[in-house]
């Protein structure tokens, strides 16, 4: 199974985002955290900035919407050509309708679950998504500690996708380092977001280190 490394530009230099994207060009995609100061207590960037990132990025964009009312905004990110658009389960009553809209426009549709959100209720609709993001920290800030107690949720989703024979990717985001990535890979994650552990130091070297760590421990 292939495994993907997505650096989060939340830890990049926001005054030089084009250069920062060049520094992570060996990664599989760039993870872009959109925060609205309502769904999470932090504010980052929105559609106009993401559109420019899409124009200059050497790698695909993986948009993570930590916002209220994703129905209003998610389609715009798909229309600008984002590879993948993630919205939060806690922010919408109609996840299937929104996922279908994102897919119809042409992006991969992804559903994020905060650490306290159970996965059981989404198992019957797993086939509606291209990716499930299991948050491994409380969303809002980079540089937090990996929450190992989210691993049973990842195992549950991994078992379900195998049983149902669905090709849905399992992404983890928060506190991923060369030390924690192996636990996430062993629990079934195949797509790894890492912010501070990539941009703290030389990004290309850190991406290679993460790839090596995850390859050594294999996937499921
Ligand atoms: C947190 C964001 C993450 C963040 C991860 O709410 O969704 O993408 O950038 O940062 P690290 O890897 O430093 O935990
Ligand atoms: Zn994120």
Mean pLDDT of the region 187-208: 98
Q: Which atom of ligand 1 is nearest to the CA of 142?
A: 10
Beta bridge partners of 109: 85
Strand partners, 171: 133, 191
Ligand 1 in reach of 203 Cβ (< 6 A): no
The preferred substitution site among 141, 178, 181, 191 for testing ligand 1, maximizing ligand atoms within 8 Å of CB, is: 141
Given phi > 0 = left and psi -120 to 50 = alpha, else beta, which region is 106? left
User: Which one of the ligands is nearest to 8 CA?
Assistant: 1
Strands 191-194 and 108-113: unpaired
pTM score of the predicted model: 0.98
What confidence tens digit (pLDDT) does each residue in 61-103 have?
A: 999 999 999 999 999 999 999 999 999 999 999 999 999 999 9
Whether the CB of 218 sits within 6 Å of ligand 1: no
Look at residues 183, 182, 187 and name the one whose alpha carbon lies nearest to residue 212.
Answer: 182
Q: Confidence class of residue 204 from pLDDT cuts 50, 70 and 90?
A: very high
- pLDDT of 217 reads 76
Count of CA atoms in the C-beta half-sphere (13 A) of 12: 25
Nearest-angstrom CA–CA distance, 193 and 181: 10
For the chain, give every domain's residue range: 4-216
Cβ pair 147, 99 in contact under 8 A = no
- Asked if pLDDT for residue 220 goes beyond 60, the answer is no
What strand order describes the sheet that includes 191-194?
A: 4-7, 191-194, 169-173, 131-135, 108-113, 84-88, 61-66, 30-35
Number of H helices, E strands in the chain: 8, 8
Task: Report CA(32)–ligand 2 centroid distance (Å).
Answer: 7
3-state secondary structure 40-52: CCCECCCHHHHHH
Q: Probe ligand 1: pick from 7, 33, 44, max atoms within 8 Å of CB?
A: 33
- Ligand 1 binding pocket includes 188 (Cβ within 6 Å): no
- Res. 192: pLDDT tops 90: yes
Tokens 């195949």: give the residue.
190
Could you list the active site residues?
A: 33, 173
Question: What pLDDT is stored for residue 219 in this prediction?
Answer: 56
pLDDT the model gives residue 169: 98
For residues 144 and 131, the answer to whether their CB atoms sit within 8 Å is no
Q: What is the pLDDT, as a whole number, of residue 50? A: 98
**What is the whole-number distance in angstroms between the Cα of residue 25 and the centre of ligand 1?**
19
Query: Is the model's pLDDT at 1 over the cut of 70?
Result: no
Residue 114 reports pLDDT greater than 80: yes
Binding site membership of 193 for ligand 1 (Cβ less than 6 Å): yes
Q: What is the mean pLDDT of residues 107-133?
A: 98
What confidence tier does 216 reach under pLDDT thresholds 50, 70, 90? confident
Pocket mutation for ligand 1, best pick of 138, 193, 199 (most atoms within 8 Å of C-beta):
193
Query: 4-216 has which CATH code?
Result: 3.20.20.70
For residue range 16-58, list pLDDT tens digits in order: 999 999 999 999 999 999 999 999 999 999 999 999 999 999 9
Distance 142 CA to ligand 1 centre (A): 4
Q: Which two tokens stand for residue 217?
A: 């421990």
Mean pLDDT of the chain: 97
User: Please, are residues 49 and 20 in contact by the beta-carbon 8 Å criterion?
Assistant: no
pLDDT digits (tens, 9 = 90+) for 138-172: 999 999 999 999 999 999 999 999 999 999 999 99
């Amino acid at each position: 199974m292939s495994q993907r490394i997505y650096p989060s530009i939340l830890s990049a230099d926001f005054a030089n985002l084009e250069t920062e994207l060049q520094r992570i060009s060996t990664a599989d995609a760039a993870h872009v955290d959109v925060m609205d100061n309502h769904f999470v207590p932090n504010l980052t960037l929105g559609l106009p900035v993401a559109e420019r990132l899409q124009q200059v990025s050497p790698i695909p964009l993986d948009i993570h919407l930590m916002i209220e009312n994703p129905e209003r905004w998610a389609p715009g990110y798909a229309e600008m050509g984002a590879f993948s658009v993630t919205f939060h389960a806690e922010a919408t009553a109609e996840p299937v309708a929104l996922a279908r809209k994102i897919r119809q426009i042409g992006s991969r549709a992804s559903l994020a679950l905060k650490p306290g959100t159970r996965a059981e209720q989404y198992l019957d609709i797993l086939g509606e998504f291209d990716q499930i993001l299991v948050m491994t920290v409380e969303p809002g800030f980079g540089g937090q500690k990996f929450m190992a107690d989210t691993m049973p949720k990842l195992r549950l989703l991994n078992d379900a996708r195998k049983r149902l024979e669905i090709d849905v990717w399992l992404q983890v985001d928060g506190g991923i380092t060369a030390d924690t990535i192996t636990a996430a890979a062993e629990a079934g994650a195949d797509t790894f977001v890492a912010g501070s552990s990539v941009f703290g130091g030389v990004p290309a070297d850190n991406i290679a280190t993460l790839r090596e760590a995850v390859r050594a421990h294999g996937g499921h």
